[in-house]
Amino acid sequence: MNGEPTIPSCESRFPAVTASIAAARHWVRDCVKGFGGPLHQHRMIQTAELLVSELITNAIRHGVGPPLIRLTWNGRLLRIAVSDDSDRWPRMRATKTPEPGGFGMQLLERLAHRWGVTPRHPGKTVWAELSLAP
């Protein structure tokens, strides 16, 4: 050990099938409970489940390959990262669109403390941070 504190994290790859959406939500709850402390009883868990389901849905519908989800907890922020092998970045849909669905990025914009997209080779990682503080 180098004396650096360990930042708790969980990582899992899910098949690119719709059944993975529910499985990812359950995995988030189990992962966050494992982090312990005040987080496991905080309403942030429900928000994390919702955002993960939206992000993995986007990765399955618009991405390439099985999505990889990583959660990291630093005691103040929960970082959610969903990676896939597509170079196609997410985009915000207009709220007046009559088509059902497609509003996951708007949820991300409203619920996350901050979020972004990081390029990878191949693909991208869409990430969001949720803050324990109100």
The model's pLDDT over 8-44, given as tens digits with 9 standing for 90+, comes to 899 999 999 999 999 999 999 999 988 887 776 678 8
Q: How many CB atoms lie within 10 A of CB 93?
A: 14
Omega of the bond prior to 122 within 30 degrees of 0, cis? Answer: yes
Tokens of 133: 């503080």
Longest distance between any two alpha carbons in the chain, whole Å: 55
DSSP 64: -
* pTM, full prediction: 0.88
Report which DSSP code applies to 86: -
Residue pLDDT, tens place only, 70-127: 999 998 899 999 999 999 888 766 666 555 556 778 889 999 999 999 999 999 999 9
Please state, in angstroms and as integers, the Cα–Cα distance from residue 12 to each residue in 26, 42, 70, 83, 111, following that order.
Answer: 12, 22, 7, 11, 23
What is the token pair recorded at 54? 């939206």
- What whole-number distance in Å separates Cα of residue 89 and Cα of residue 80? 17
C-alpha distances in angstroms, 82 versus 36, 85, 93, 105?
22, 11, 20, 13
